[in-house]
A = this chain, B = another copy of it.
Amino acid sequence: MSQSADISLKKDPTMRNWAIIIAVALIIWFMPTPEGLTLKGQHLLALFVATIVGFVLAPVPMGPMALLSLSLCALVGVAPIKELLVGFSNTTTWLVVCAFFLARGFLKTGLARRISLMIVKAIGSSTLKLGYAMAFSDLFFGPVMPSITARGGAIVYPIISGLCEVFDSKPGASARKIGAYLLQVEHHATCIVSAMFVTAMASNPLAVAFASEIAGVEITWMGWCIAAIVPGTVCILVMPYLLYKIYPPELKETPEAPKMAREELAVMGPLSKGEKVMSGVFVGCLALWITGSMTGISATTVAILAAAFLLVSATLTWKDCLNDNGAWDLCVWLSVIISLATLMGKYGVVGWIADSAGGMIAGIDWLPALVIIALIYVYSHYMFASLTSHITAFYAPLLAVAVGAGAPVMLAALVLGFLGNVCGSLTHYSSGPAPILFGAGYIDQGTWWKFGILFTTINVVIWLGVGSVWWKVLGLY
C-alpha cells in the first residue's frame, strides 16, 4: 500500500505543483528587497503571488488555497487576522452570492426553462432564428445569473438537446443539421453575455475589487452595464448571423421548433406561484439596479433584499441557499483575494508595481499600450482552464501596467473586465460551459479551436472598435 502510494506520489503532479508554489513564495520572500518596496510589502507580495500561482496550478481547489494563504499571512505576521478578513465584508462579494440565490430561484421554479421555451416559440421558426433564441436566452438571464455554467449548461444546453432530438441531429453524420451550429452559438454567446454585467460571471466582482483596490476606481453595477451594453449587443447580434454564413447548418427552416416549445409549455401549464414571485423579483431587481444611481440604493442591497424576498415567500428555502456550493465557494476565495488586494494597496505594493510597469513601457502612448495589453490578456487565456484563474492571475498586473502607461483608469479597468470574459470563446476548456457544449460531441476540436480564435478575434475587434466610439460618447476617455 505505502509503496504504491509512494509511486503514485511521483507521478502525481500535485507534489510538483506544491513545490512550484512554495518555490515562488520563497524566491519572492528572500530576494533582495527592490527599491520602492517595503519588507512587509515584499512578504505580502510573496504570499499573494504564491496564492495566485496556487489558484492556477490548483493542487487543491481555490477555497482551501485561500484559507491556507489567509492563515499563513496571519501566522508570519504580514497582517493581523482582523485585517485579513476585511474581504468578507466586501459589497460586491455579497452582491454575487445573492445573485447565485436568484439564479437558483430561476432554476428551481422552472421559470428559466419556461422563458427559454417562450423565446424558441416566439422566434424559433428557422435555424438562424433558433441561434438568436439561444443567444437571447443567455442574455436574458445574464443580469442575475453569475454562474456561466448554470446559464450555458443548465438552461440553454437542455433546450439545445431537446431541439437536436426533434430534428434528429446527432453527433456524427447529422451533427451539422442543427446541433453543431446551435452549440457553437451558445459557446460564444455565453462569453459575450458574461462580459456585459457584473453579475453575469462569478469572477467579475474580482475585477471590480481589483479596480477599486489597485486602481482606486469604483465600478458600479450600472456603470459596467452601460459601458458594455453597446459593444456587447453588437457582438450578440453579429455572431449568430456570421456563424450561420461561415458554418451553415444543413437544416434552414425549423417550423417544428416552435411547435415543440408550445407542447412543452403546455405540459408545464400556467405560471406557478413560485414562477410569478420569481418574475416579480427579477423585474424588480433589474429596475432597482438600473435606477440605482438615481435612487442611491446599492446593487448589493437590492440583491440581498431580492434573496430575502424569495426566502420569505418560500420560493426558495434556506436549505436551497445553504446547499448552493458555488455561492459559498465564491464567498471564501473571492473574499480572501479581496483582502490581500486591499493590503497590496495599503502596503504600497500596487504603487510599486505601477511605477515599475510605467518605467518598463515609458515612451509608449497609452492607447497602443492598452491595445497591446488587451491582446496579451485575451490570448494568454489559451494557458488557462478557467476564466477565474485567468482573471485572478492577470487582471491586476495588466491593469497596473495600463495605468502606469497613462491609460484612463476607469476605461482600462472596464476594458480588461470585459475582455476577461470574451476570451472564454477560445478553446473547449476556456470557460465553465465550454467542456459541456464541446463534450456533446457535435464538433471536432480543430473546428472548435478555429472558430474559437476567429470569434474571439471578431469579438475583441467589436469590443475595442465599437466600444471605443461608445466609451468616447460616455466620456470614459
What is A's interface to B at a CB cutoff of 8 Å?
59-61, 63-64, 67-68, 70-72, 74-75, 80-82, 85-91, 94, 98, 297-298, 300-302, 304-305, 307-309, 311-312, 318-319, 321-323, 325, 328-329, 331, 335
Q: Is the CB of B61 within 8 A of A301?
A: no
Contacts of A81 in B (CB 8 A): 91, 298, 300-301, 304
Q: Is the CB of B305 within 8 A of A71?
A: yes
Contacts of A88 in B (CB 8 A): 88-89, 94, 335
- The verdict on A89 contacting B85 (CB below 8 Å), with A60-B318, A301-B75, A312-B60 known, is yes
The SS class assigned to the A binding surface is helix
Q: Is the CB of B89 within 8 A of A82?
A: yes
Q: Is the CB of A321 within 8 A of B63?
A: yes
Once the chains are docked, how many angstroms separate the CA of A86 from the CA of B61? 26
Contact of A308 among B67, B301, B311, B335 (CB under 8 A): B67
Contacts of A331 in B (CB 8 A): 331
Contacts of A322 in B (CB 8 A): 63, 325, 328-329
Contacts of A63 in B (CB 8 A): 311, 318, 321-322
Smallest CB separation, A443 vs chain B (Å): 31
- The verdict on A304 contacting B91 (CB below 8 Å), with A325-B322, A328-B322 known, is no
Once the chains are docked, how many angstroms separate the CA of A172 from the CA of B231? 76
- The verdict on A298 contacting B80 (CB below 8 Å), with A311-B64, A322-B328 known, is yes
Contacts of A335 in B (CB 8 A): 88
Give the residue among A89, A91, A307, A311 with the most B Cβ atoms within 10 A: A89
Contacts of A304 in B (CB 8 A): 67, 70-71, 74, 81
Once the chains are docked, how many angstroms separate the CA of A395 from the CA of B118? 54
Contacts of A61 in B (CB 8 A): 318
Once the chains are docked, how many angstroms separate the CA of A194 from the CA of B68? 28
Give the residue among A72, A81, A329 with the most B Cβ atoms within 10 A: A81
Contacts of A297 in B (CB 8 A): 74-75
Contacts of A98 in B (CB 8 A): 67
